[in-house]
């Protein structure tokens, strides 16, 4: 079958790429929000500083997202400290220190994971959102 003189092929690759990128960013953004929401629910609260600083960010060029916090003590809450630290990565002997009020002993803090469980709770749904659009 021969093509007629009025036949034109138009490739809108750039438009397709931008549409795919836009949809992927929307899904990543929604997934990050879900993880952030659940991490804030699971986060242990003393003064509320850690919970308040759980955020998400997205790199639109790399199509990557990160949910977490920049609070200095966040890893100690997530993974524990001292003899309670996950995978034995903490100090294995009690820590003894003296203050103005006397001697204190500490064995560390028990892990209180909040970021990893939030990720694990939502990752299947996030993957399903991608599969529904890009299958």
Map tokens 């909040």 to a residue: 114
d(CA 31, CA 92): 38
d(CA 94, CA 91): 8
pLDDT at 83: 79
The strand ranges marked E within the chain are 55-59, 64-68, 95-99, 102-106
Q: Confirm if 104 and 98 have CB atoms less than 8 A apart.
A: yes
Mean pLDDT by 10 residues, the chain (135 residues): 63 82 96 98 95 96 94 94 76 67 74 97 96 89
pLDDT at 105: 62
pLDDT at 9: 65
pLDDT at 66: 96
């Amino acid at each position: 079958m021969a093509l007629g003189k009025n036949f034109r092929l138009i490739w809108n690759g750039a438009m397709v790429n931008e549409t795919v990128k836009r949809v992927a960013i929307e899904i990543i953004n929604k997934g990050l929000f879900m993880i952030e929401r659940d991490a804030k629910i699971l986060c242990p609260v003393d003064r509320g500083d850690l919970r308040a600083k759980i955020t998400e960010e997205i790199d639109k060029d790399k199509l990557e997202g990160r949910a977490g916090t920049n609070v200095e003590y966040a890893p100690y809450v997530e993974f524990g400290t001292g003899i309670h630290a996950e995978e034995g990565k903490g100090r294995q002997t009690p820590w003894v220190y003296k203050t103005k009020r006397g001697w204190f002993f500490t064995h560390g803090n028990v892990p209180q994971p909040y970021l990893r469980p939030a990720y694990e709770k939502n990752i299947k749904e996030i993957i399903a959102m991608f599969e529904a659009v890009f299958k």
